[in-house]
Structure 1
Amino acid sequence: MTSTILLTGGTGTLGSHVTPLLLEAGHSIRLLSRSNREATKGIEYVTGDLLKGEGIDAAVAGIDTIVHLAGGPKGDDIATRNLITAAAAAGVRHFVYISVIGADTIPLGYFTAKLGAERAIIESGLPYTILRAAQFHDLALKTVQAMAKMPIVPAPNAIRWQPVDSREVAARLVELANGSPAGSVADLAGPTVYTMSELIRGYLTAVGKRRPLLPIRLPGKAGKAYRAGVNLNLDNAQIAKRTWEDFLAEQLG
């Protein structure tokens, strides 16, 4: 059965993959945006701001399913609470949320906000599905590109990532949105764990550059958490197929 789905974050990295997949599945999309946009085939744009709590009631009116992808470096918990409050009042039947592996174990603001958002969803009483994913290949590329601009590249090897392709995350989210509320489902992670040095070297090799790497120690509670690998899931995650090397070859030729 197809319907109109409210999508937040539809213009971001993940949303740009989710949007066409929802349309291909026969859904209409109501896309919440902070700026005015003209409607396109299958997509109705509504203006609102989740952090400020503006325009949300109109966005959720008549909606059965919400796919909540919008996020940023901070404030995800506040934005999600605002959306959840309006969704509950509107009688939304399925709230789908993308979170991050390590939300409950990495003592950094972004992860803490994600955990706060998860708790707001769970405690709301709304039927929900939460998918935690690893860092996207897209983020890994932006990170190593920025680092590789330095003449000597810092390499905090306490940080290990299990990067996943955002297109595979998008496909999984659409599959979940098409199904019944499932609660907290299995994490989705990439097929390989890399140290930061390995990610950087892979990028440098792909672009034909050389840079000396300087190993550095990540201090504090965050460093301890990363050294323990709590942002990884090596036991019970659903493992995606595309590797970091596949992504680099596709993006950089």
Structure 2
Amino acid sequence: MTRTLLVTLALVAGLYLAICLMLFLFQRNLLYFPQPRAVQAPENTLELAVPEGRLVVTVRPRPGAQALLYFGGNGEDVSLNLEQLAEAFPDRALYLMHYPGYGGSSGEPSEALILRDAELLYDHIRDRHEQVALVGRSLGSGVAVQLAGKRPVSRLVLITPYDSIENVAAGRFPWAPVRGLLRDHYRSADVVGALHVPTLLMLASDDQVIPRDSSERLAAAFAPGVARLEVLDGAGHNDISLHPRYLPLLTEALR
């Protein structure tokens, strides 16, 4: 009986370790879902050189002081936002970044590489426009926050944001030591307390991807008076941009 129990425990432990190992090895396959680029017109495409090859950016060029830089979700083709944003901001230059491995950008997605490319693109934009506003959706909210902590920005909008990817992952896999396994953390709540840029957080009331308490912890981490939180009733994580309040809130926040 004792031997059978020990063998059973050893098998269970081995299976658990094997599952944890799989989570560690394939974690980025669970976090990133690269998408092709729908908008490929030359006039809407910017390519910047990076060590891996090229960084592809969907653009709507405009002269002038104001530019908007958009970071999308982990399974988003950001070029599909071009039409909506162009209508909402007719006089503002638009830059929508395709992460490494997305939309023709070179490399494999990781937090370090995405943040490096975000800084490179920001510096390119800032050479041409005096004011750069950031919009980050879902995964991209963490990119926008990190960039805002390193570069001056005029406005910040975070759509379905989180306090950290590791907290979201820990809630999704409570049986695994995810904090020790993760390579990409996106610890937004550790950054926002030092920000002084006017910020809007847009939450979806029916978000099934980012827990509500994660977004609220991020909002609470801002200094008083810096950020405001708006909840879009009836919106889900993936369809929040279709909500009738989405564009009015976005345009108001970026004035």
TM-score above 0.5: no
TM-score normalised according to structure 2 size? 0.40
Superposition TM-score, scaled by structure 1 size: 0.41
Which has the larger Rg? 2
Higher RCO, 1 or 2 (CA under 8 Å, sep at least 6)?
1
